[in-house]
Amino acid sequence: MTQVRTRFAPSPTGYLHVGGARTALFSWLFARHHGGAFVLRIEDTDLERSTAESVNAILEGMTWLGLEYDEGPFFQTRRFDRYQAVIDELMAKGLAYRCDCPRERLDALREEQMAKRLKPRYDGHCRGREVDPAKPHVIRFRNPDSGSVVVDDIIRGRVVFSNEELDDLVIRRSDGSPTYNLSVVVDDMDMGITHVIRGDDHLNNTPRQVNILRALGKEAPRYAHVPMILGDDGARLSKRHGAVSVIQYRDEGFLPEALLNYLVRLGWSHGDQEIFSLDEMIEYFDLAEVNKAASVFNTEKLRWLNQHYITHGDPARIAHLLSPHLGRLDIDPAQGPDLVEVVKAQQGRAATLVELAAISAFFYRDFEDYDPKAAKKHLRPVAREPLARARAALETLDDWTPEALHALVDGIAADLGVKMGKVAQPLRVAVVGRAASPGIDLTLWLVGREACLRRIDRALAHIDARAGDEG
Task: Return the active site residues.
Answer: 239
Q: How far apart are CA 54 and CA 454, in angstroms?
A: 49
Other CB atoms within 10 A of residue 398 CB: 6
150, burial (CB in 10 Å: exposed 0-12, middle 13-18, buried 19+): exposed
Strand partners, 153: 157
DSSP string, 256-305: HHHHHHHHHTSS--STT-----HHHHHHH--GGGS-SS-EE--HHHHHHH
Nearest to 200 by CA among 237, 231, 229: 229
Torsion angles phi and psi, residue 222, rounded to 5: -80, 145
DSSP state of 359: H
Other CB atoms within 10 A of residue 216 CB: 15
